Amino acid sequence: MTSHRSLRSHAKRTSSAATPAASGPASSAAKKKKPVGAKKTHAQKSPTLPTIPSASSLLNNSQQTTDEWYKSKRTKKGYANYVKSGKKWLVDWTAEGRLDDEISADAFDEITAETPLALRALTAYKCEHLERGFASAEGLRSALKDYFERVRGCQGEFWRYNSHTEKWEGNPVFENGFKTYYESLKNRHNRTSTATQALPMLPADLKIILEYLDSEEAIKLLSFPGAPLPGGVGMPKMLEQR
């Protein structure tokens, strides 16, 4: 009996020594399994600030956009010629000091208060100095309007200064001074073109001419080529009586 009890006591002591002591709450929590599908969290990186472009890169981008506009299928050949010649005129005149430093050479590239002034000066040079017709003013306006919209991003049928952004908004062709001058050229064209147009011959006029040609007076005069018409008689007087 004694030997059996001693063996059981020895077995209990051995089992107790092999089993580790119960741990506290922290140890129990550590033994819990992570839920399936849990993802590891990473520290969020701060956003990378965009690189500030240099002045040369901005000018290169601007020139590239302009070149693409010149070559675009949507750009009429006449439009490109108007813009090229207009820019050249502006550079030449500012270099010679003819614009009294009021307009810079890049007024068609840098959209400022000078842009509509340059447009008005160029139009006046074409229509007043070179005495070209209203078609030149119309073509110049259409070409630069398209250029300002598609190349310089001038959107909207207005022209105003934004005091918050300190920039001009809209399209320079809608500036009040240029609009007024453009309309005056259009009105002058309408007046002069109507005065120089040939009036149509009405059936009544044709009837008078035929009646005169059948008259004895006309037959007598036409029998002698080069003979002057007697003053105050004949077809002119008949037309005056209408």
| Pairwise pLDDT comparison (31 vs 140), residue with the higher score | 140
- Tokens 């307009």 sit at which residue? 103
DSSP, res 172: G
Is the residue at 36 inside a domain?
no
Is the residue at 175 inside a domain?
yes
Closest CA to 139 of 82, 181, 187, 85: 82
For 227, half-sphere exposure in the C-beta direction (CA atoms, 13 angstrom radius) is: 11
∠ at Cα 118 (115, 123), nearest 5°?
130
Is the residue at 27 inside a domain?
no
Is the residue at 190 inside a domain?
yes
Distance between CA atoms of 182 and 192, rounded to whole angstroms?
Answer: 16
Distance between CA atoms of 40 and 32, rounded to whole angstroms?
Answer: 17
Distance between CA atoms of 12 and 184, rounded to whole angstroms?
Answer: 118
Closest CA to 167 of 154, 150, 180, 149: 154
Looking at the predicted structure, is the pLDDT value of residue 154 above 80?
yes
Is the residue at 154 inside a domain?
yes
Q: What is the pLDDT of residue 131?
A: 92
Q: What's the rounded mean pLDDT across residues 104-110?
A: 94
Distance between CA atoms of 18 and 4, rounded to whole angstroms?
Answer: 21
Number of folded domains in the chain? 1
| Pairwise pLDDT comparison (191 vs 229), residue with the higher score | 191
Is the residue at 204 inside a domain?
no
The domain of 184 spans 60-196
Closest CA to 125 of 85, 159, 160: 85
Is the residue at 157 inside a domain?
yes
Closest CA to 169 of 183, 148, 151: 148
| Segment 54-99, tens digit of pLDDT | 766 766 666 676 667 666 766 778 888 999 999 999 999 999 888 8
Is the residue at 6 inside a domain?
no
| Segment 185-202, tens digit of pLDDT | 999 998 887 655 566 777
- Tokens 């956009």 sit at which residue? 65
19-23, 85-89, 128-132, 215-219: which range is least confident on average?
19-23
SS3 of residue 74 by DSSP: coil
Closest CA to 108 of 119, 99, 97: 119
